[in-house]
Amino acid sequence: MSARRSTARQVTKGVLVALLLVFTLFPVYWMLNSSLDAQAGHTSSFWPAEPTLEHYSFVLTEGGFGGFLRNSLVVALATVLVSAVLALLASVAVARFRFRMRTQILMLVLIVQMVPLEALVIPLFVQVRDLQLLGTLLGLVVVYVALALPFGIWMLRGFVAAVPVELEEAAYLDGATWGRMFRSVLLPLVAPGLVATSIFSFITAWNEFIFAMTMLGGATESYTVAIGLRSFFGVHSNDWGAIMAASTIITVPVMIFFILVQRRLASGLTSGAVKA
């Protein structure tokens, strides 16, 4: 009786897992499938009817996607470097020091994360325009650093707080200055958190769409991948094989990064954002 019930339960569980896998993976599968099928956009089949890599070579050569990839990489790496340094310094301040206004600053960091991009895009467009940086990658980097910073501070603060204070004290006992302690004790111990935060900033910059669309406007040579995709949409028909190939190229690095940091990301979210 109970054996039969547990078999029934196992079967139900198996069915649920199968359904879940289909739901979560179908879009990814469909993207890959269409990107590898010469017939994509003509017949829809659940596996490549005519397997080919043609879409990828088209996208990367004639489609000009190589340039978009390079732009995105430059923007994302610059964003990561600048925001990691700024976030690390600020997170040490809020995690390791008690000072007046500390709570207010934490609140500020929390609140600015919630501001909708739609509200920032109008004034920042005017600001970047006044600085004559419209259509340049530098203008985008400046904006992305600001977007990645609050979350970076919030998350790193959890990692900094997790480093035992006793280790710092031991460094002081050995005669280290604060700067020496920072470099030799704190920095190596926070490094994993720094990696996770950097990956988050990278993904923010890599995926960002609304600012790239607004600030780059007609400057096609500066397009990042997220808006470069739009060049494969035609007026009357869309080249779905090429769009899906380009989408795959955009998605793959993000997925690799995600799988690399999934544990840390989850623990960072809860330790940094919930418990701290």
Partner 1 sequence: MTAQAPPTPRSSGPAPAGAGRAAVGWSGGWSSRARAAAARPWLLLAPALLVLAVLLLWPLVRVFLFSLQDYGLREITTGEANWIGLRNYGEILTAPELWTVVLPNTVGFAVLSVAGTVVFGTAVAVLLASLGPFWRTVTSSAIMAAWAMPAVTGTYVWVWIFDADRGVFNDTLMNLGLLDDPTNWFTNRWTFYAIVLLNVIHHGFPFVAVTVLAGLLGVPKEMLEAAEMDGAGAFRRFFSIVVPQLRQVFAVVIILSTIWDFKVFAQVYLMPGGAGSNRSVLNLGVWSYVESFGQNRYGFGSAIAVLLTLLLLAITAVYVRTVLAEEER
Least distance in angstroms from the C-beta of 191 to partner 1 = 18
Q: Helix 65-96 and helix 240-268: axis angle, to 10°? A: 10
CA neighbours closer than 13 Å in the CB half-sphere of residue 80: 17
Q: Which string of x and - marks every residue 194-223 that binds partner 1 (by CB under 8 A)? A: ---------x--xx-xx---x---------
**Among the candidate windows 50-58, 59-67, 71-79, 171-179, which touches partner 1 by CB under 8 A?**
171-179
Least distance in angstroms from the C-beta of 43 to partner 1 = 8
By CB under 8 A, residue 76 contacts partner 1: no
Give the residue, chosen from 169, 180, 188, 219, that forms a contact with partner 1 under the rule CB under 8 A: 169
Site for partner 1 in 125-164 (CB under 8 A): 125-127, 129, 142-143, 145-146, 149-150, 153, 161, 164
Give the residue, chosen from 38, 60, 77, 93, that forms a contact with partner 1 under the rule CB under 8 A: 93
By CB under 8 A, residue 20 contacts partner 1: yes
At 32, is the secondary structure helix, strand, or coil?
helix
Is 252 exposed, middle or buried, given 0-12, 13-18 or 19+ CB atoms closer than 10 A?
exposed
What is the CA 159 to chain-centroid distance, rounded?
19
Scan for tokens 């109008």, then name that residue: 122
CA distance linking residue 65 with residue 71, whole number of Å: 10
Tokens of 28: 């990814």
Site for partner 1 in 39-58 (CB under 8 A): 41-42, 44, 46
DSSP assignment letter at 126: H
**Among the candidate windows 57-65, 131-139, 190-198, 255-263, which touches partner 1 by CB under 8 A?**
255-263
